[in-house]
Structure 1
Amino acid sequence: MDATADVEVQLGQGDVALTARDRTLLQAVAAHGSLNAAADALGRSYAHAQRRIVELEDAFGPLVDRSRGGSGGGGSELTDAAEQLLARFQRLQAEFDGVATAAETVLQGTVVDRDGELATVETPSGTVRAIVDTEAGPGDAVEVGIRADSVTLNAPHEAPEPAGTSARNQFAGTVERIDEGTAIALVDLAVDPDTTLSALVTDTSLEKLDITAGSELVASFKATATVGVISALDQSRADGSS
């Protein structure tokens, strides 16, 4: 079983997946009229770009029509299949962006320490490191937002040591609910009796990790992807005293 589930929008076909980097390459071919010019514009080697196109075509079928040089010069253009593939990718990206924006876990907590923009916040679910409003000091109540697309899920025995990863925030929990979309799944992880942490994973990762309701997992997320603001109650008190 794979140890980690996180999200990068991909369209898979067998062992090959079209990624955002591949989408950019195909779009550059369409814009510049040749693979050579596309690679140059993107700062990539032509050999690497050509090899990647071949890999994608082995999986998805013809994507680039190439013409040899002659009196009119050589060039490349996308096939109808490539245009359809890019459209599918765009729809998947839109679905992902919509879910990621809507799915955010908000924790109530109290600042216990801070170091510049980063602060340590004590919440009912545990301690969180986050980028917190600079006006919030020790003792202030804050609301910490954690976007679902910033959360990585791991099997408990495969969870990285916090000191050895940039994702130093970690909560263990039990899968409470799974909402599967076309290619993206929203996993709700109960990290304490009153708190559910949402995470986005691809359907492929969901299957590989064998995530089901009741699965025990560890959620990890970076401090730099976690934002805290002064809670509305504390803010209203501050406004009233000024």
Structure 2
Amino acid sequence: MSHPVPESTLPALVQGELTLIGGLNERLFRLLAAIASTGSITQAARAIGMSYKGAWELIDRANNLSPELLVDSSPGGRAGGGTRLTPAGQELLNLFQRLQEEHRVFLDRLNRELAANPNFRFLHRRFGMKSSARNQLFGNVKRVVPGAVNAEAIIALKGGDELVAAVTHKAVETLGIEAGREVVALVKAPQVVVVKDFGGYRLSARNQLAGVVERVQRGAVSAEVVIKLAGGDALAASITNDSVDQLDIKEGEAATAVFKAGAVILGVAER
């Protein structure tokens, strides 16, 4: 079932100025339309926010490049002067305005199709979020477990992975964190530990997400290790280059991203 997006949000999805082959754009045709309505190059330039000199330069160039004269002007006198479109100029303007309307109809249809696509709608909304946290994971709250001081929110990620976030009771109430609510979990890369072999030990960290090393990107001092989880989500860890060498971390090998529940910040979309 599709969910319509409010009309006011549609232009935010796909926009575009109609540009013809050769670089002809709306500025020339806005000027032609203004000349047609005012009969004056001075008034036309003022109407579209151009300088008088710039308007004449654009008209002169268009006239020079066109097989037929597009704009004609007559000097002032007792009969008065003026600037007008020639039949060729009016025909060109009419054609562009028709193309412009077809272009508007096309963009409107495309926006509606994109807005009706749930994957695109979610992606569009989520990309609008700006955060310095390297890891941004979206999921749904499975359950909220209250504690003496804080509560634990269990988040279901893609592919069956679960993430645990420790949040205050106040945050649970204020954000409306409850079963079924979509949330975004923010985790900074330096707070993620990479484990290749537990060596028979168990760790107290609530989040231990197993996957495969997808990428190791070294910097001057530290490296970013990206672990791909079973469901397709990726988690980035920032560790030193020495740690990469000591652990012998290689792409394609199994590894586990480990981080505390307190390292997770939850966010919710406005209702």
Query: Normalized against structure 1, the TM-score is what?
Result: 0.49
Query: Normalized against structure 2, the TM-score is what?
Result: 0.44
Higher relative contact order (CA 8 A, sep 6+): 1
Higher strand share: 1
